[in-house]
Amino acid sequence: MLCFIGGGHLLVGRSHEDNYPESITHLPIVTGQLTEFTTAVDVDRQVSSALSTGQSLYTIDEQLLTSLQPDVILTQDICAVCAIDLQTVQRLAARMSPQPRVVSLNPLGLDDVLDNLLQVGEAVGMEREAQAAREGLEARLRRADELVAASQAAAAATAVAKPTEEARPCVAFIEWPEPLYVGGHWTPQLIERAGGTHPLNPARPEGAAKSFAVTAEAMIATVPRLAILAPCGLNLQQTRSEFARMKALPWWPQLEASCSGRVALVDGDAMFNRPGPRLVDAYEWLVSTLQALPHAAPPDFPVEWVAIGSGAAAAEGASDRVQRLRAELAAAEAELAAEEQGVVAAIEEVHLCAVRQGQHSYKDPKTGDNPC
């Protein structure tokens, strides 16, 4: 956010997770983490074990940070699993001389993220630049909103209105694959604003609840037409590896999006998980996807679509579903044909009887009404 408003030259240090933009990656790293990424399920085990004993997940190099003599420390208190906790930073800052100002950014929704730009700008004396940066993001959001409104208006004007599940498709946003976590904070807002629904954790005016674990059965029951796998803190390559494990789980072929092939793998670490300017890129991509407007997506957005049949489990599930639906359709058509044939035979019979008896009319054998 600091670089986005033009203040990258003010940075003297960064956390171990600060890797964007690339121009800051030469700066000294003042934090570290005790967990090591192996697989999603193993990371969950490591985190749960540390939190159960009150152990911090992160470290901070007090000597290095003190030697950098910062005037301002930008940190957060929105998630103890995502970064060093605020209390540790405040205690360390209190021991430094001169004591730096600690600015904690804790957005719950997209509007809060935009406000944070102004908060950062005020902290470093770049209020005007921050306001201009915010206005630029707001202009992009308005353009994307207009595309959504126009697309929905066009759909409403068609001769046959779309069913609700098609007009506002359900989205399964998977923020962690194992155990299964749904998207939280600003993510449901982005989905619903782009024209979708996120029923397991719906948006609220102030932002949705934090990401939380759900059962596979609950996710399947929402019948999502689109599944987005964007694990917190994982890049696209790591997400690809996690998907290879997830699609082998027994519940995956039962997910509607898996059967229809509407599954997207996204670099969540870059585009969705961090409350920064790139959330606008994420929103534009959601609009392009949910409204079928490919031109609305940002160029080079880090996404991979999973083709139908990629993976034995997915292919088998989709094939079974298609065969079952075809069989049900064939049975229904046969039943309808038999019924129609029976009605025609009955009409022919009563018509012939009426002719033989010299009658000028007869009752419809199907309804019993209206002389024919």
Query: Residue 313: what pLDDT?
Result: 41
Output the tens digit of pLDDT for each of the chain's 372 residues. Answer: 999 999 999 999 999 999 999 999 999 999 998 877 778 888 888 877 776 776 778 899 999 999 999 999 999 988 777 788 899 999 999 999 999 999 999 999 999 999 999 999 999 999 999 999 999 999 999 999 999 999 988 888 775 555 555 579 999 999 999 999 999 999 999 999 999 999 999 998 877 789 999 999 999 999 999 999 999 999 999 999 999 999 999 999 999 999 888 999 999 999 999 999 999 999 999 999 999 999 999 999 999 999 765 444 444 444 455 455 555 666 666 666 666 666 666 677 777 777 777 777 767 766 666 666
Contact 107, 116 (CB under 8 A): yes
CATH 3.40.50.1980 fits 168-310, yes or no: yes
CA distance 140 to 150: 16
CA distance 263 to 260: 8
Counting Cβ atoms within 10 Å, is residue 353 exposed (0-12), middle (13-18) or buried (19+)?
exposed
Number of neighbouring beta carbons within 10 Å of residue 77: 15
CA distance 180 to 3: 34
Beta strands in 188-329 (DSSP E): 226-229, 263-266, 303-306
Query: Residue 311: what pLDDT?
Result: 42
CA distance 75 to 66: 16
Tell me phi and psi for residue 371, to 5 degrees. -60, 140
Give the residue extent of every domain in the chain.
8-106, 168-310
- Residue 355: CB partners within 8 Å, gap ≥ 6? none
Query: Residue 34: what pLDDT?
Result: 82
Query: Residue 318: what pLDDT?
Result: 47
Tell me phi and psi for residue 3, to 5 degrees. -65, -35
pTM: 0.80
CA distance 309 to 294: 23
